[in-house]
């Protein structure tokens, strides 16, 4: 029979398959389709059966083409139409599903392959183990581990690496370490960086930092060559354990090895130095980077934030804007938390506006940061507005709002919100119960407090910590049950700290139980002989009891032990500027006007019965001088300046570094009444909302 003229010009099968492979490697779909057409034409004139080896090779090549060109539906169609398949057919399609993130399809194909009695090779197992790793399917991964022994494939080194990676990603680190330490799959170079990177990451993320350090030592001992992922993992470990010395060694090795500082490695270096408290080194690394993306900028902002440099954190935004880098949701979360640290609500409002404009307000991390910013800035109503508008909430959202209400003394609202949280099925954690128990303390709900501690926390398998027990002490103290509070502390097997004992000491001062107060103060001073807060409270109690000799003794004891009171500082934000006041106030450009305003306010409240409480002043000076000290406490100066500059009815928001004294607390209550203004003061222990002569703390703080 004569050969048709056109067939003489058709390429051979080998040529077509070679062209098909080139099309797949270059992702040239159109050219690949034309080769597909050529194969169809060729096969129409072929006498080979559809199940021939040649047809399987052709279809496998086509599946490979469509997989690499992201046409999985076409690849799957060809696969399903195959009357006969081989291991390559499965592996090609499984690889496509793996790279497209469809991990369940990979596992399904593997199970189908096993059920049809195909014997998978080491490449198939590597693909399936990767799918199990990324989808957290440790059970299927363990089944693969068993098959590897059955088929004798466990001795391949890259299979061992895939096993270690799978167990590590699924946080079965003990099994990952067992595989890592096994003899099978070992080569002359022993374990490679990929294995160690997987285990290191899993240990760090699981909080098993001591074991991570041991694995790091083993890497060094075995002379494993580090790659960029290794450096990132080790820097993450250094940051977690706050080991600056180790971090500097890692940085030195990185420079010595000549590795390029890309944005990925650079951002981790900045993050590590920030967590280790070395902001200068973080800034130096940042300034040395040739390319800086939003991740690097956010890492530097986070470094400043973590080290309490809130103003510098906010200043970086304008620098970032000048370079043309667009901030993302993580950047704004950091910036809003910096505003929270400074209680800079006005600045936070501006950031809120930018978040709205960029259309990222619905991201949970941004909403959480906004709630935190408004809450710590004294605007709890704005916090709730953000909370109410959030389409999606997580446990951090609920905790931020519940704890915010508690910190503002709004215990009833906190408990109602907790009930809402439970009704929507959100599972509480240890932070939630700190907020809930604090709310019980504000409301003196003793029975409810013990119910949450002893029953509900146990129901959710949450082990109570020191902060929870301290809240219970506060609940008992608020209810006036001081003896019960002391007994609770003496009998509960908890390592109490100074803060917990001072809660009871403060209650002794409020409830005038001076005998118990003296005993508690002795306990605290044995723990920390230089605790200034205890000396202040003890002096206040002796002054109330008119025990002037004891007050003198406290002053003498402070001099002998060289205990000095930390200077009181208060600040207020006005028109995006932060004004800071100390007790002398003389460094402010408008100090004369401020002093005059304070005097005017004091004269007004004296008509309501205000008498300066000079008994609690620890300075050994004349009474007239003591009154002068009280008059110009930093919070009074800040409030006076706020009243001068902030028009009514806007609230006055002041932040103080120490606990507000009793005299100032009384004075501010009366100032809120005579000026008809809401005054919000955040001191070292809580928020005080002063309105119409009352405070939300009901004189317990």
- Helix extents (H) in 343-410: 345-358, 364-376, 380-389, 395-407
Question: Is the peptide bond prior to 649 cis by the omega test (within 30 degrees of 0)?
Answer: yes
**Confidence band of 536 (pLDDT split at 50, 70, 90):** confident
Q: What Rg value do the Cα atoms of the chain yield, rounded?
A: 34
Confidence of residue 585 (pLDDT cuts 50, 70, 90): low
What would the two tokens of residue 111 be?
A: 């199970």
pLDDT at 101: 92
pLDDT digits (tens, 9 = 90+) for 587-618: 788 989 999 999 999 999 999 999 888 765 65
Percent of the chain whose pLDDT exceeds 90? 64
The domain spans of the chain are: 433-560, 569-695
Contact status, residue 504 vs residue 473, Cβ threshold 8 Å: yes
* pLDDT value of position 187: 54
For residues 76 and 621, the model is more confident at 76
Q: Once rounded to an integer, what is the mean pLDDT over residues 457-485?
A: 95
Q: Looking at residues 128-149, what average pLDDT do you find? A: 94
Single pTM value for the model: 0.81
Judge whether residue 3 has pLDDT over 60: no
Specify the higher pLDDT residue, 41 or 680. 680
Count of H-run helices and E-run strands, the chain: 37, 6
Other beta carbons within 10 Å of 249: 13
pLDDT at 617: 62
Q: Residues 152-198: pLDDT tens digits?
A: 888 888 899 999 999 999 999 999 989 988 876 555 455 688 889 99
* Tokens, residue 262: 């890309």
pLDDT at 191 (0 to 100) = 62
Question: Taking Cα atoms as reference points, which of 207, 201, 205, 178 lies closest to residue 216?
Answer: 201
In angstroms, the Cα distances linking 175 to 148, 156, 170, 181, 217 are 15, 18, 10, 10, 19
Whether 620 contacts 657, CB under 8 Å: no
- 431-445: per-residue pLDDT in tens? 999 999 999 999 999
Which segments of 482-590 does DSSP mark as H helices, in order? 482-491, 498-510, 514-527, 532-544, 548-560
- State the chain's mean pLDDT as an integer: 89
What value does the mean pLDDT take over residues 249-254?
A: 90
pLDDT of residue 563: 84
pLDDT tens-digit readout, 539-573: 888 877 778 888 888 888 888 888 887 788 999 98
Neighbours of 103 (CB within 10 A): 20
Neighbouring CB atoms inside 10 A of 544's CB total: 15
If one compares 117 and 303, the residue with the highest pLDDT of the two is: 303
Lowest mean pLDDT across 71-85, 348-362, 384-398, 577-591: 577-591
Q: CA-CA distance, 496 to 652, in Å (whole number)?
A: 37
* pLDDT for residue 564: 80
pLDDT of residue 188: 47
What mean pLDDT comes out for the span 1-30? 74
Overall residue count recorded for the chain in this entry: 701
């Amino acid at each position: 029979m004569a050969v048709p003229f056109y067939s003489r010009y058709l390429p051979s099968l080998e040529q077509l398959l070679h062209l098909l492979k080139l099309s797949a490697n270059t992702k040239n779909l159109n050219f690949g389709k034309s080769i597909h057409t050529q194969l169809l034409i060729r096969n129409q004139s072929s006498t080979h059966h559809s199940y021939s080896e040649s047809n399987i090779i052709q279809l496998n090549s086509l599946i490979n083409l469509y997989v690499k060109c992201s046409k999985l539906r076409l690849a799957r169609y060809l696969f399903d139409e195959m009357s006969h398949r081989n291991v390559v057919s499965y592996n090609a399609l499984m690889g496509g599903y793996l790279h497209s993130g469809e991990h369940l399809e990979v596992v399904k194909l593997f199970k189908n392959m096993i059920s049809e009695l195909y014997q998978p090779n080491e490449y198939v197992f590597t693909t399936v183990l990767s799918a199990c790793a990324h989808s957290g399917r440790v059970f299927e991964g363990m089944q693969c581990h068993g098959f590897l022994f059955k088929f004798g494939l466990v001795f391949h080194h890259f299979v061992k690496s895939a096993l270690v990676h799978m167990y590590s990603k699924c946080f079965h680190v003990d099994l990952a370490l067992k595989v890592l330490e096994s003899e099978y799959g070992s080569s002359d170079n022993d374990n490679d960086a990929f294995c160690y990177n997987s285990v290191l990451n899993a240990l760090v993320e699981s909080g098993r930092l001591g074991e991570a350090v041991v694995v790091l030592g083993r890497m060094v001992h075995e002379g494993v060559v580090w790659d960029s992922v290794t450096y990132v993992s080790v820097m993450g470990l250094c940051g977690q354990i706050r080991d600056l010395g180790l971090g500097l060694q890692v940085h030195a090795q990185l420079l010595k090895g000549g590795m390029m500082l890309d944005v990925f490695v650079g951002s981790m270096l900045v993050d590590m130095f920030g967590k280790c408290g070395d902001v200068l080194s973080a800034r130096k690394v940042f300034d040395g980077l040739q390319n800086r993306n939003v991740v690097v900028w956010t890492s530097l902002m986070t470094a400043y934030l973590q080290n309490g440099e809130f103003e510098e954190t906010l200043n970086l935004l304008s620098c970032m804007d000048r370079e043309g880098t667009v901030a993302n949701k993580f950047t704004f979360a950091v910036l809003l938390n910096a505003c929270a640290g400074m209680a800079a609500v006005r600045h936070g409002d501006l950031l809120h506006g930018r978040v709205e404009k960029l259309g990222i307000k619905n991201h949970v991390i941004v909403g959480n940061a906004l709630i935190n910013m408004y809450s710590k800035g004294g605007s709890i109503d704005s916090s709730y507005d953000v909370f109410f508008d959030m389409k999606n909430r997580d446990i951090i959202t609920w905790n931020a709002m519940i704890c915010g209400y508690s910190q503002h003394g709004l215990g009833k609202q906190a408990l109602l919100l907790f009930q809402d949280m439970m009704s929507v099925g959100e599972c509480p954690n240890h932070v939630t119960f700190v907020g809930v128990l604090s709310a019980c303390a504000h409301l003196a709900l003793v029975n409810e407090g013990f119910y949450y501690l002893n029953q509900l926390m146990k129901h959710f398998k949450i082990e109570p910590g020191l902060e929870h027990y301290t809240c219970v002490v506060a609940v008992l103290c608020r209810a006036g049950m001081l003896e019960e509070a002391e007994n609770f502390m003496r009998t509960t097997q908890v390592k109490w700290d100074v803060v917990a004992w001072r809660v009871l000491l403060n209650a002794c001062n409020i409830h005038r139980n001076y005998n118990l107060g003296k005993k508690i103060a002795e306990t605290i001073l044995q723990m920390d002989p230089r605790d200034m807060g205890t000396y202040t409270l003890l002096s206040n109690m002796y002054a109330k009891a008119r025990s002037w000799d004891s007050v003198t003794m406290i002053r003498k004891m402070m001099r002998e032990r060289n205990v000095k009171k930390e200077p009181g500082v208060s600040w207020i934000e006005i028109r995006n500027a932060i004004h800071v006041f100390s007790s002398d106030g003389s460094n402010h450009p408008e100090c004369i006007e401020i002093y005059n305003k304070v005097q005017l306010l004091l004269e007004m409240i004296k008509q309501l019965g205000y008498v300066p409480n000079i008994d609690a002043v620890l300075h050994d000076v004349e009474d007239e001088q003591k009154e002068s000290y009280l008059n110009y406490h930093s919070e009074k100066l800040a409030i006076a300046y706020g009243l001068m500059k902030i028009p009514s009815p806007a609230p006055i928001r002041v932040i103080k570094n120490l606990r507000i004294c009793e005299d100032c607390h009384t004075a501010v209550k009366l100032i809120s009444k005579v000026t008809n203004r809401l005054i919000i003061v955040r001191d070292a222990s809580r928020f005080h909302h002063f309105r119409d002569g009352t405070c939300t703390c009901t004189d317990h703080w």
